[in-house]
């Protein structure tokens, strides 16, 4: 039977989600500086951490699907970036990071095998990383123009989406070797609440959040590197985040959010990708 699909939300209940367990390519990530990993990978640790995340998602009500294939690059574990699942089907993206090109085709084969239609793809010279796409409402999406997502890609994506698209420029920040996505600086938690990194949040997005009456919870500077701003909502007010961010977790709890944590030293901190990055929502409803 085809899988149900449609995920034009960051916070609606997560019903089906696609992941990729760390494999041999992830184990060798530190060997090539182009991948941007911070230290040599412990594959055993990474696999334990990923298994715990999968277990946690299942306990919280999501059906977790494994991609079940390997690529030459380690970043395939960060399933969020290669595609976008809309109510009409999948938009295949084209990463601005050259070492990630082709991940979208591996996902495409999986989606096709599970009866989920492909409705379009980003073509050269366009680039779009999934981490630069943030849904605020099912009909309102924000896209970050960044070192990974360019204007031709945004134009193509806009033509494929029948929604209101807001584009915001992201700062150069640490440059080409670091990955600053829009979702590096904002994580919606409910339709009216979001975790944000205020110093790098685009001013236009700040005003849009105000206009939509979305309360912003700033993360402290000393929890940015431990990915406090990368929070995965599994349903409104219930989130998964990396351990090691006690201040942000406490602020969320104070606002009535149920917080679940897992250890992510290898699969998150090392490769700079949090729980949102590790998941490609297939159905949120």
Assess contact for 75 and 34: CB atoms under 8 A.
Answer: no
Question: CA of 202: how far to CAs of 8, 122, 146, 168, 261, in Å?
Answer: 22, 24, 11, 6, 28
Dihedral (CA of 245, 191, 179, 204) sign: negative
- Determine the Cα–Cα distance for residues 187 and 196; give it in Å rounded to an integer: 6
Considering the domain 14-284 in this protein, what is its CATH number?
A: 3.75.10.10
| H or E, element range at 18 | strand 14-19
Cis previous bond, 125, omega within 30: yes
CB atoms within 10 A of CB 17: 25
- Determine the Cα–Cα distance for residues 91 and 138; give it in Å rounded to an integer: 16
pLDDT tens for the 285 residues of the chain, in order? 899 999 999 999 999 999 999 999 999 999 999 999 999 999 999 999 999 999 999 999 999 999 999 999 999 999 999 999 999 999 999 999 999 999 999 999 999 999 999 999 999 999 999 999 999 999 999 999 999 999 999 999 999 999 999 999 999 998 887 779 999 999 999 999 999 999 999 999 999 999 999 999 999 999 999 999 999 999 999 999 999 999 999 999 999 999 999 999 999 999 999 999 999 999 999
Assess contact for 234 and 14: CB atoms under 8 A.
Answer: yes
- Determine the Cα–Cα distance for residues 100 and 94; give it in Å rounded to an integer: 8
């Amino acid at each position: 039977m085809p899988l149900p699909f449609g995920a034009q939300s960051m916070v609606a209940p997560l019903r089906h989600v696609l992941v990729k367990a760390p494999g041999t390519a992830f184990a060798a990530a530190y060997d090539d500086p182009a991948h941007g990993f911070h230290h040599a990978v412990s594959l055993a640790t990474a696999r334990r951490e990923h298994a715990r995340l999968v277990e946690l998602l299942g306990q919280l009500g999501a059906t977790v699907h494994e991609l079940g294939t390997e690529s030459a690059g380690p970043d395939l574990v960060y399933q969020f970036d290669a595609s976008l699942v809309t109510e009409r089907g999948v938009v295949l993206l084209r990463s601005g990071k050259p070492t990630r090109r082709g991940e979208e085709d591996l996902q495409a084969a999986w989606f096709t095998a599970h009866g989920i239609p492909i409705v379009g793809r980003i073509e050269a010279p366009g680039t779009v990383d999934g981490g630069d796409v943030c849904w605020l409402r099912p009909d309102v999406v924000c896209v970050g123009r960044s070192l990974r997502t360019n204007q031709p890609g945004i134009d193509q994506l806009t033509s494929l989406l029948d929604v209101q698209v807001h584009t915001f420029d992201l700062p150069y920040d640490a440059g080409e070797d670091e990955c600053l996505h829009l979702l590096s600086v904002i994580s919606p938690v409910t339709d009216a609440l979001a975790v944000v990194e205020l110093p790098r949040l685009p001013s236009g997005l700040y005003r849009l959040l105000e206009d939509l009456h979305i309360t912003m919870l700033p993360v402290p500077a000393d929890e940015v590197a431990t990915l406090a701003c990368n929070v995965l909502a599994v349903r409104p007010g219930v989130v998964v985040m990396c351990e090691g961010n006690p201040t942000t977790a406490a602020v969320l709890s104070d606002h009535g959010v149920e917080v679940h944590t897992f250890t992510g030293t290898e699969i998150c901190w090392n490769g700079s990708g949090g729980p949102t990055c590790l998941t490609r929502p297939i159905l949120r409803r």
